[in-house]
Amino acid sequence: MRVSEWVAFGYFLYLLAVAVVKAHWPKRNKAVTAAAVAALAATLPRVLPDTEVGRLVRDWLPAAFLMIGYWLSGWYFVQPMPQIEARFQAWDRRVLGRDVGAGLVLALPRVAVEALELAYAACFLFVPSGMLMLAMAGHESGADRFWTLVLAGELGSFAFLPWVQTRPPRALESDIAIDRRPLLVRQVNRFMVANTSIGVNTFPSGHVAGALATAIAVSAVQPSFGPWMFGIALLIAVAAVAGRYHYLVDAIAGAALTLAAWTVISALWR
pLDDT in tens, 145-157: 999 999 999 999 9
**How far apart (Å, rounded) are the C-alpha atoms in residues 9 and 66?**
11
Say if 6 falls within a structural domain. no
**How far apart (Å, rounded) are the C-alpha atoms in residues 53 and 3?**
20
- Tens of pLDDT, residues 184-229: 999 999 999 888 899 999 999 999 999 999 999 999 998 988 899 9
Say if 50 falls within a structural domain. no
Q: Please calculate the CA angle 210-212-218 and round it to the nearest 5 degrees.
A: 100
Contact 156, 12 (CB under 8 A): no
Say if 41 falls within a structural domain. no
The domain of 98 spans: 79-268
Say if 56 falls within a structural domain. no
**Beta-carbon neighbour count of residue 180 at 10 Å?**
11
Tally of domains within the chain: 1
Chain centre distance of CA 206: 2
Looking at per-residue pLDDT, the higher value among 98 and 234 belongs to 234
Report which residue type is found at 188. Answer: V
Say if 32 falls within a structural domain. no
**How far apart (Å, rounded) are the C-alpha atoms in residues 4 and 118?**
29
Say if 212 falls within a structural domain. yes
Residue 36: partners with Cβ closer than 8 Å, 6 or more residues away = 12, 16
**How far apart (Å, rounded) are the C-alpha atoms in residues 150 and 153?**
5
Q: Report pLDDT for 23.
A: 66
Say if 97 falls within a structural domain. yes
Judge if pTM exceeds 0.85: yes
Say if 55 falls within a structural domain. no
Mean pLDDT on 227-244: 94
**How far apart (Å, rounded) are the C-alpha atoms in residues 243 and 229?**
21
Mean pLDDT on 125-130: 93
